[in-house]
């Protein structure tokens, strides 16, 4: 088994807030991510899949195919969008990096399996210093 990773990037707006809290309470909890008029991040997404090397080709899968799949299922839905308002699979989700990473996993798991490999991990960087990794565990 070997692991390969494809990086994709998108930028998107969002806001972390609870509607029942005041702007000040949201700011105290979520900092700059609570800005009432939204703000953006340049996200980096790393999708790692695992599989066996095809002996004829020397690789697990064509990374171009993986890139196309990630773009179709995730990037086109998130890039230049408002994560709180524009994305069907983030409806009613607090758009924390954690929750977005899990939602991305859910978008990719089945279609990646259909390509003949298994999704191993999703790493989502919100800033160069803050990132989340998800490996499909439900608890």
Would the CA dihedral through 92, 95, 98, 100 be positive or negative?
positive
Residue 41 Cβ vs Ni ion, minimum distance, rounded to whole Å: 5
Q: Is 126 a catalytic residue?
A: yes
Q: Is 39 a catalytic residue?
A: no
Residue number, 17 or 105, with CB nearest to Ni ion: 17
Catalytic residue selected from 25, 80, 109, 133: 80
Residue 14 Cβ vs Ni ion, minimum distance, rounded to whole Å: 6
Q: Is 33 a catalytic residue?
A: yes
Residue number, 90 or 119, with CB nearest to Ni ion: 90
Token pair for residue 1? Answer: 């088994």
Residue 34 Cβ vs Ni ion, minimum distance, rounded to whole Å: 8
Residue number, 31 or 111, with CB nearest to Ni ion: 31
For residue 46, give every residue at least 6 positions away whose Cβ sits within 8 Å of its Cβ, in sequence order, or none. Answer: 5, 6, 7, 121, 122, 123, 124, 125
Residue 3 Cβ vs Ni ion, minimum distance, rounded to whole Å: 29
CA 137: distance to chain centroid?
A: 15
For residue 14, give every residue at least 6 positions away whose Cβ sits within 8 Å of its Cβ, in sequence order, or none. Answer: 33, 38, 39, 40, 41, 82, 83, 84, 95
By CB under 5 A, name the binding residues for Ni ion: 33
DSSP 133: E
Residue number, 15 or 123, with CB nearest to Ni ion: 15
Which residues are annotated as catalytic?
33, 80, 126
């Amino acid at each position: 088994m070997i692991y390969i990773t494809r990086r994709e990037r998108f930028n998107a707006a969002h806001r972390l807030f609870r509607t029942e809290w005041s702007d000040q309470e949201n700011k105290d909890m979520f900092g700059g991510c609570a800005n009432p008029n939204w703000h953006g991040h340049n996200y980096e997404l790393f999708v790692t899949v695992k599989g066996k090397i095809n002996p004829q080709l020397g690789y697990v899968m064509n990374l171009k195919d993986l890139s196309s799949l990630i773009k179709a299922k995730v990037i086109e839905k998130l890039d230049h969008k408002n994560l709180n308002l524009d994305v069907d699979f983030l409806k009613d989700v607090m758009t924390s990096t954690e929750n977005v990473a899990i939602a991305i996993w859910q978008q990719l798991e089945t279609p990646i399996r259909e390509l003949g490999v298994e999704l191993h991990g999703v790493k989502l960087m919100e800033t160069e210093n803050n990132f989340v990794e998800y490996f499909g565990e439900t608890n």
